[in-house]
Amino acid sequence: MPRLTRLPMVLLSRPRLGAALVLGLPLFVALDTTLTTGHALLLAFDLACAAYLGAIALMMSRTTPEAMRRRAELQTEGRWTVLVFSLLISAVVLLSLKTELLASKHNSPLDLLLAGVSIVLSWMFFSVVFTQDYAHGDHRGRLQGKPCLQFPGDVEPDYWDYLYFAMNLSMAFQTSDVNILDRSLRRVALLHGVVAFFFNVFIVALMVNVVAGVL
């Protein structure tokens, strides 16, 4: 079965991501009646993504090691489906952003604000999706006595530790002071680093084009 055909079942085990999708689609349809398709897509994504990130931050701040282990077991199925789906969403947002910004040489301050918010949220979105994959992959390994990631110190890592690891890859394309001990997670980190590199290059190139158009 193709990975993306599993999406409905996968989203049931990831209620926050599923809820964000349920929120974003009707928002896009409603906004598309009054805004351009590109603006409607960006605004719907921003609102749904902000709600998703808020829900994830709340979950991360309240979770316990036991809850993290249960979540890791529950979300074993479909991890690559979620990663591919999330990257497709980010790609669509970036392409819409490029189309909207380059379509006009006279972008308003609100257009630029929307673009900036969309860039930050899309970057945070895929970073947080990778964060959860690292966390759950590592905890599945720990349940078998084989940690996939080695953090400094003796304290069991929480979601914020995995967010630190993911953000380092998104910003600096390196794992900092964390060692990857598992081949499967190493492949995920490789994908993460490649995606982050091209994301950052795309944004820099887009901003250069926008500034050149303004000047």
Per-residue DSSP letter, 175: -
pLDDT, tens digit (0-9, with 9 covering 90-100), for 14-73: 889 999 999 999 999 999 999 988 899 999 999 999 999 999 999 999 988 888 888 888
Q: Are strands 149-150 and 179-180 parallel, antiparallel or unpaired?
A: antiparallel
State which amino acid sits at residue 118: S
Tally the residues of the chain: 215
Tokens of 18: 């599923």
| Alpha carbon distance 46, 44 (integer Å) | 5
| Alpha carbon distance 157, 64 (integer Å) | 11
pLDDT, tens digit (0-9, with 9 covering 90-100), for 75-91: 877 788 888 888 999 89
| Alpha carbon distance 178, 192 (integer Å) | 15
Contacts of 179 (CB under 8 A, 6+ apart): 149, 150
| Alpha carbon distance 59, 139 (integer Å) | 16
pLDDT, tens digit (0-9, with 9 covering 90-100), for 142-186: 888 889 999 998 888 899 999 999 999 999 878 788 999 999 999
Question: pTM for the whole thing?
Answer: 0.88
| Alpha carbon distance 185, 204 (integer Å) | 28
Q: What is the separation of C-alpha 81 from the centre of its chain, rounded to a whole number of angstroms?
A: 13
Between the CA of residue 34 and those of 48, 101, 138, 194, what are the distances in Å? 18, 18, 45, 37
Q: Is the pLDDT of residue 95 over 80?
A: yes
pLDDT recorded at residue 1 = 42
pLDDT recorded at residue 214 = 59
| pLDDT band (50, 70, 90) for residue 105 | low
| Alpha carbon distance 36, 4 (integer Å) | 28
pLDDT, tens digit (0-9, with 9 covering 90-100), for 182-198: 999 999 999 999 999 99
Per-residue DSSP letter, 13: T
pLDDT recorded at residue 215 = 57
Q: Is the pLDDT of residue 213 over 70?
A: no
Phi and psi of 48, rounded to 5°?
-65, -40
Tokens of 74: 């529950």
